Amino acid sequence: MSNTSQFQQIASNLPNLALLFRWFNRGRHLNRTAEPVLWEELERNLDDYRAIFTALGSELRLDGRGFAWFHQDDGSSNTNKATRQLALLFMVIFDTQADAGIPLMKLSTGVSIRPYSPRFLSNIRICWKPRNWICPAWWA
């Protein structure tokens, strides 16, 4: 059997292949809780999805906490650095909120996160420094 016919046979058994490919290719994460039907299909046919996405030049990754995405190493170093910095910033925001006893879901209701509080700035400095990232002057 040729590679093309194998590809077509696998693809014919994946009704949401095009939808998931567009989803991941746009840089979106699939969340097990938010999209349970798509998640269930992805998990059920994980090997087939990985094979097809790999053949298309993408690497599908799953996190044990219930997220799936296309991992990409070929971005510019500045883009990757900025992405890591933003991810770290959000992690510190969420962690600071949790330490204050504020549920994460309250962030969507407009609760002030007090980004300039001493604890927040301390957490940012602790996370930023080991990575040799330059902190903005107002954080110093």
C-beta neighbour count of 25 within 10 angstroms: 12
| 58 touches 25 (CB < 8 A) | yes
Closest by Cα among 120, 124, 126, 118 to 97:
120
| pLDDT of res. 93 | 72
Total number of residues shown for the chain: 140
Q: Is 61 helix (H, G, I), strand (E, B) or coil?
A: strand
Q: In the beta sheet, which residues pair with residue 62?
A: 68
- pLDDT band, very low/low/confident/very high, at 11 (cuts 50, 70, 90): confident
| pLDDT of res. 2 | 62
| Span 16-54, pLDDT tens digits | 998 999 888 888 889 999 999 999 999 999 999 998 888
| Span 41-93, pLDDT tens digits | 999 999 999 988 888 888 999 988 888 998 876 555 555 666 766 777 777 77
**What is d(CA 123, CA 89) in angstroms, rounded to the nearest whole number?**
9
pTM score of the predicted model: 0.52
Query: Hey, where are the domains in the chain?
Result: 3-71, 77-139
Under 8 Å CB-to-CB from 83, ≥6 apart: which residues?
75
The CATH class given to the 3-71 domain equals mainly alpha
